[in-house]
Amino acid sequence: MQALYAQLLVGLINGSFYALLSLGLAVIFGMLNIINFAHGALYMMGAFVAYFLLNLGGINYWWALLLAPIIVGIFGMILERTMLQWLTGLDHLYGLLLTFGIALIVQGVFQNYFGSSGLPYAIPDQLKGGMNLGFMFLPVYRGWVVVFSLVVCLATWFLIEKTQLGAYLRAATENPTLVRAFGINVPRMITLTYGLGVGLAALAGVLSAPINQVRPLMGADLIIVVFAVVVIGGMGSIMGSIITGFALGVIEGLTKYFYPEASNTVVFVLMVLVLLVKPTGLTGRAA
């Protein structure tokens, strides 16, 4: 039974990363109509920035949680201003190919300098150790990742669904020309939205660093699963991405316990089933 709970916890942690990453992808796809294949590389950059901050600047994990998303978010905004903005109105394929190319270049550069093996990033002192819950042992850091990710996901959902800024974002997703004609600087809003989505990926990277180590290909390993999560949740759906992210992490964890052979494919099997029954995803709306 302890093994089941342990797998559930692993599933929840993976689900946290899936949710944070798919949320960023959903925000970017909803607003920019770009399938951001660079998302995994930007997640990896978040972890590396945290690593550099600690080892070169002596800046600890807590500051990294704030600074890494800002730094990588600014990098993302530069990408959007210099490259992605020119793809407006073109087929999705162009955005996909461009961001795939960016991902390969970024990962290649990091691999060139740091190799493929992982660099250690220590768990902060305040989050070391664990708690005995009676039915299982819970490492504090892992519990923190789940709770913090959930809070960030819900805060992002609130920002987009319940605030005036979110109303601008949702309206601009539907009709950017009209929103701009109301006096809102839509190009700037698009850049900031891309920065927000990228910042979420970087935040997931910082959270992941103490668990998975810092590796140039850490994002490449994850991004395909995250895309499956986004497709299952419904492209562009904020709440769909959050719920599906956590749910699929748990389903993956349970599969590891009951039928380990299928644990790497269960997400994709679910994706196929969802696409057959509801091609717009579980919470997506028809175009």
Partner 1 sequence: MPDTAIAEAPARAATGGNILQVRNLESWYGESHILHGINFDVNAGEVVTLLGRNGAGKTTTLKSIMGIIGKRSGSVKFNDEEIIRATSDKIARMGIAFCPEERGIFSSLDVRENLMLPPVVRAGGLPLDQIFDLFPNLKERLSSQGTKLSGGEQQMLAIARILRTGASFLMLDEPTEGLAPVIIQQIGHTIARLKKEGFTILLVEQNFRFASTVADRYYVVEHGKIIDGFSNAELATNMDKLHTYLGV
Cβ closer to partner 1: 126 or 185? 185
Residue 60: how many other CB atoms lie within 10 Å? 15
Q: Calculate the CA 216 to chain-centre distance.
A: 16
* Nearest approach, Cβ of residue 162 and partner 1 (Å): 10
Q: Which is nearer to partner 1, 31 or 267 (CB)?
A: 31
Separation CA 148–CA 155 (nearest Å): 10
Of 13 and 196, CB closest to partner 1: 196
What is the contact surface with partner 1 in residues (CB under 8 A)?
164, 167-168, 170-171, 173-175, 177-186
49-57 contacts at long range (C-beta below 8 A, 24 or more positions apart): 49/202, 49/205, 49/206, 50/121, 50/205, 50/206, 50/209, 50/214, 51/119, 51/121, 51/209, 51/214, 54/121
In the three-class reduction of DSSP (H, G, I as helix; E, B as strand; rest coil), residue 139 is classed as strand
Cβ 174 to partner 1, closest distance in Å? 5
Min dist CB 87 to partner 1, Å, is: 16
CB nearer partner 1, residue 92 or residue 285: 285
Residue 175: CB minimum distance to partner 1, A: 6
Phi, psi at residue 37, to the nearest 5°? -70, -10
Q: What does DSSP assign to residue 122?
A: P
82 versus 164: smaller Cβ distance to partner 1? 164
User: Least distance (Å) from partner 1 to the CB of residue 191?
Assistant: 14
First to last CA, the chain: 45
| Cβ–Cβ < 8 Å for 14, 245 | no
